[in-house]
Chain A
């Protein structure tokens, strides 16, 4: 048994109901989760909770009663557990789901930045900062994301952020060699913007950040939609070979497969334009010259698949980021083990710059969309980082 007293955790959530992100993640600290073939119970204790919106199905009071923690009316009080000084060892900021307005770029304005700043204010006032886990994107706004990371650096606390996709199982268990030379990369995703394109971009980023000397920042982006996507494919703006490779990893092709169960080469048989009425392509130009593409192909497949071509290797590398069924959402357990590592070690196992990179890519791509799908230069996207040397996805 561990001799140290359990780390104390504050949960700051937008909502807490069944199958909300707060429930997925916080519950694992309360009841444990499977890890490396065992049911693991973190040596940590949720001691306080703040919930921004309590709707029908709210579970916050039930959980507080059963597991013996307080629900506080403000973030500051949650971090201080009702006292006058910071009284927790870590903060989980889980602001996903809930009713929040969309802006003119159709980004859902989750108040992650505002809530993060409320934590920072406590850290500053109390002269002490602790690790924060930010669920999903840092913010819909790249400037806000930059400021959040800047705050963390200034006050010297670690931040772990991001999606579960980079840490879930991969089919196959592909990890690109650290320092590899990537010639081109492509990701296929599905779902709405700006929720699911974010996941897909982060899945791609966790692969390509292992190239060369790491991520070098973004030079420009462009997002296009509709027929222009197929035309871009015909013009060679993205590789058909990589699209085939990514789709070859899908377990969920639609169209003819739904009709009679058949396997299909959806690029070769020309089905894609017929079954994907509203495709979108996100083109990303990295500062080191790498070009990457996210294709959001609603109607084609239902999963998230990646492909890239490495220098001097004629065979594309490809994999599926495996999202097991909901419930029990086992992929969120993979991320919780990373959160535990953050809290235990005081260091984020995954660089927050990964999420900051994607935060900027997505924000600029949606600007491109609203400005008539033009190419947008991104001079302030100078997020430079190296991938961690170890692998952090589920593989043992």
Chain B
């Protein structure tokens, strides 16, 4: 493409620390990258914002960046007010904003509804362009699958997901490509649905590199409260991997007053973690994975796995410089935006959307298992087979 690509952003809401602010601002203002203030070689020219609240900054951005215009509809945003698709890429950022929750605790972000409007413009224009969908595809599995199938059918590039797979790692480790993995865990924190997805992506971006690639997931089961502690005691997931994850944390809460860093006993963990839960699931090739959510004990995302033939766990932290407590900038969006830029420039996703299709389904299955009393959920619909690219896409430069 010889001219600078033009990009449209479809957002639920745009205020300080909303995902739209983190992502769209990086296209407008540039961001620190590889030792420079990088300005994406493309212009974000149109924006749709579903909800405008008092502290909205979208209109400030439109004022300061004259090439950016806010449109009243998604169709107008993609056609720049005309009749046909007029942009080279679309950001779909359906995170944050006031949307209802269902009885299972899922936030009903209108990603699918917005997606449908985007696709309608693609269809009437007879062509599609690359779309980046922030976080998981849809809270509703059927809709998520439809998003994926539509992108495949129409043949446009589609990327999605969390920033966890692409942020800094401490240590800066990549899973050896093609390795045999016996078990993997992500020890993390956060709320059901929203942060489950981040933990699942943290884990998936590592295990998808295993021997034979991803073959899908057969079943998932949630453990919460007393059942969680029993599962920990029973070794439903490996204790050494769980502890390796905690040893990668930069936020392990001291269990004893007067100490700043002390490894907790199980009894101390029980004092600190009032509502633990885990999703344990088995992949089609036999790999066992678990995300273990330890609210009250840690506030970061840590990965550990047992690799075949290695005694010591392989472990790292996917580090989020999270504002406002620790930083002022959520710079983990920088590698995400950089990868999305690459898709807009090349027409090829930097990493497979199948990763996020799978984690979308796992998130929904986890929520469902919790809702149904922590039963095992068979997941024949998650027979998602894909290969990860060998090259690394996380932040290391």
Residues of A within 8 A of B (CB): 18-19, 23-24, 27-28, 31-39, 59, 62, 169, 171-173, 244-245, 247-254, 257-258, 260-265, 267-268, 302, 307, 315-318, 322, 324-330, 333, 394-396
Most buried by B among A34, A249, A302, A318: A34
User: Which residues in B have their C-beta under 8 angstroms from that of A248?
Assistant: 32-37
User: Which residues in B have their C-beta under 8 angstroms from that of A261?
Assistant: 16-17, 21-22, 25, 57, 323, 328-329
Q: Which of A38, A265, A395 contacts B37 (CB 8 A)?
A: A265
Q: Which of B258, B312, B314 contacts A18 (CB 8 A)?
A: B258
Q: Which of B171, B249, B263, B316 contacts A32 (CB 8 A)?
A: B263
User: Which residues in B have their C-beta under 8 angstroms from that of A245?
Assistant: 35-36
User: Which residues in A have their C-beta under 8 angstroms from that of B172?
Assistant: 172-173, 395
Q: Which residue of A lies closest to B34 (CB)?
A: A315
Q: Which of A18, A250, A330, A395 contacts B250 (CB 8 A)?
A: A330
A27-B25 in contact given A248-B36, A327-B254 (Cβ < 8 Å):
no
CB of B327 closer than 8 Å to a CB of A: yes
B258 touches A62 (CB 8 A): yes
User: Which residues in A have their C-beta under 8 angstroms from that of B262?
Assistant: 27, 31
Q: Report the number of A-B residue pairs with Cβ-Cβ less than 8 Å.
A: 155
Q: Which residue of A lies closest to B325 (CB)?
A: A325
State the CA gap A377–B329 with chains docked (Å): 41
User: Which residues in A have their C-beta under 8 angstroms from that of B21?
Assistant: 260-262
User: Which residues in B have their C-beta under 8 angstroms from that of A39?
Assistant: 243, 247, 263
Most buried by A among B36, B244, B247, B248: B247
A396-B171 in contact given A268-B37, A328-B250, A328-B261 (Cβ < 8 Å):
yes
Q: Chain A's nearest CB lies how many Å from the CB of B394?
A: 10
User: Which residues in A have their C-beta under 8 angstroms from that of B259?
Assistant: 27, 31
State the CA gap A62–B331 with chains docked (Å): 42
Q: Chain B's nearest CB lies how many Å from the CB of A225?
A: 25
User: Which residues in A have their C-beta under 8 angstroms from that of B312?
Assistant: 36-38
Extra contacts besides A244-B36, A261-B16, A325-B251 (18): CB < 8 Å: A28-B261, A31-B259, A31-B261, A31-B262, A31-B263, A38-B312, A59-B258, A173-B396, A245-B36, A251-B328, A252-B329, A261-B25, A261-B323, A307-B35, A328-B249, A328-B254, A328-B261, A395-B171
Q: Which of B33, B60, B328 contacts A252 (CB 8 A)?
A: B328
B247 touches A38 (CB 8 A): yes
A330-B329 in contact given A37-B244, A395-B172 (Cβ < 8 Å):
no
Q: Which residue of A lies closest to B169 (CB)?
A: A173
State the CA gap A249–B35 with chains docked (Å): 7
Q: Which of B171, B261, B314, B315 contacts A27 (CB 8 A)?
A: B261
Interface of B is mostly: loop
B327 touches A251 (CB 8 A): yes
State the CA gap A251–B319 with chains docked (Å): 12
Residue contacts A-B, CB under 8 angstroms, 10 given: A19-B260, A37-B314, A248-B33, A248-B36, A260-B21, A261-B16, A267-B37, A302-B327, A317-B35, A330-B261
Q: Which residue of B lies closest to A24 (CB)?
A: B260
State the CA gap A35–B171 with chains docked (Å): 11
A169 touches B254 (CB 8 A): no
List CB contacts (< 8 Å) of B4-61 with chain A. 16-17, 21-22, 25-26, 29-37, 57, 60
Contact with A along B338-355 (1 / 0, CB 8 A): 000000000000000000
Most buried by B among A169, A261, A316, A327: A261
A333 touches B261 (CB 8 A): yes
B170 touches A322 (CB 8 A): yes
State the CA gap A24–B248 with chains docked (Å): 18
A257-B35 in contact given A59-B258, A263-B26 (Cβ < 8 Å):
no
CB of B313 closer than 8 Å to a CB of A: yes
Contact with A along B303-318 (1 / 0, CB 8 A): 0100000001111100
CB of B321 closer than 8 Å to a CB of A: yes
Q: Chain B's nearest CB lies how many Å from the CB of A272?
A: 13
User: Which residues in B have their C-beta under 8 angstroms from that of A264?
Assistant: 29
CB of B228 closer than 8 Å to a CB of A: no
Contact with A along B240-274 (1 / 0, CB 8 A): 00011001111111100011111100000000000
A328-B260 in contact given A252-B328, A263-B29 (Cβ < 8 Å):
yes
Q: Chain A's nearest CB lies how many Å from the CB of B44?
A: 13
CB of B168 closer than 8 Å to a CB of A: yes
A172 touches B395 (CB 8 A): yes
The 10 closest A-B pairs by CB, nearest first: A248-B32, A328-B261, A327-B260, A324-B250, A37-B315, A265-B37, A251-B327, A261-B16, A34-B247, A251-B321
User: Which residues in A have their C-beta under 8 angstroms from that of B102?
Assistant: none
B32 touches A249 (CB 8 A): yes
Q: Chain B's nearest CB lies how many Å from the CB of A165?
A: 15
